[in-house]
Amino acid sequence: MRKIAIALTKGGVGKTTTAVNLAAALALAGKRVLLVDVDTQGQAGRSLGMEPEIGLAELVMGDVEPEDALIEARPNLWLLGGGDGLAGLKRMIARKDFGGERTLREALAPLDGRFDYVLLDTAPGWDVLAVNALFYADEILTPVSLEILTLQGLQGFLGKIQAIQAYHPDLILRYVTPTFYDRRVKKSDEIIEQLKTYFPDQLTHPVRYSVRLSEAPGYGQTIFEYAPKSTGVFDYTVISKIVMKHE
């Protein structure tokens, strides 16, 4: 079972869009996928048209059994919802004397082997939940917005990953996925070239800028449902194949 955190400390780079649509692509390829929304914004669930009352927070705090927290959002695609409830979970973790960073890992252990993929949509910033998500995951996919990200911004995040690797050596930055790619913008290609130099093994096919991708969550639909012929479908399908190649 592969556990992949979609993460970057910077906001608005396409983490949720990537988590939801990569999860959908893998599910359509016949994989059993769990999407975990580790964000108080609850955007991953909403992008699938759901705002579950019970989700990750209730499961981790031991209030419910996994069966009651997991929602089958689509064929092969389950959701463990995030949202406001995670604020309480953060407080609970913060109160622990030790081992707080492994709270998620311990609570989700019973799910081991039940899925082919667990994708975690993480929040921007760096807090106990972000750290918990990275202690649970074995792989990181970092979306790099070609519009707003500087390589310096990425550098800071890499330092944080290294700090976690000291305690969780299995964790690797596996994929760097350029987002908001626009061929007409010269800067886009320049940044991709730079990324190629720094991340020759991690760099994936990019996700092109697409209005359809930004519209789909408003309808509670994945890009595969909302605009099946769009570039987003093509791009996320290619990325899913890259990810599946490493099985």
* Residues lying near ligand ATP in the complex (CB under 6 A): 11-17, 39, 43, 123-124, 179-180, 207, 209-210, 213-214, 217
Which option in ligand ATP, Mg ion, none does residue 217 bind, with CB closer than 5 to 8 A by kind?
ligand ATP
| 15 sits near Mg ion (criterion: CB under 5 A) | yes
- Residue 21's binding partner among ligand ATP, Mg ion, none (Cβ under 5 to 8 angstroms by kind) is none
Q: Considering CB distances under 5 to 8 angstroms, the limit depending on partner class, which of Mg ion, ligand ATP, none binds residue 240?
A: none
User: Smallest gap, in angstroms, from Cβ of residue 64 to ligand ATP?
Assistant: 25
2-6 and 139-145 beta bridge pairing: parallel
Distance CA 25, CA 131 (A): 26
Our CB check for Mg ion shows the closer of 16 and 177 to be 16
Residues 29-58 that bind Mg ion (CB under 5 A): 43
Asked whether position 16 contacts Mg ion by CB under 5 A, the answer is yes
Sheet holding 33-38, edge to edge: 70-74, 77-80, 33-38, 117-122, 2-6, 139-145, 172-179
- Round the CA-based radius of gyration of the chain to a whole number and report it: 17
Q: How many angstroms separate the CA atoms of 43 and 17, rounded?
A: 9
Name residue 72's beta-bridge partners.
Answer: 78
Q: How many CB atoms lie within 10 A of CB 243?
A: 24
Quickly count: other Cβ atoms within 10 Å of residue 228's Cβ. Answer: 11
Choosing among Mg ion, ligand ATP, none, which partner's interface includes residue 179 (Cβ < 5 to 8 Å by kind)?
ligand ATP
Our finding on whether 18 is near Mg ion (CB under 5 A) is no
Q: Is 10 in the site for Mg ion (CB under 5 A)?
A: no
Task: Name the site residues for Mg ion (rule: CB under 5 A).
Answer: 15-16, 43
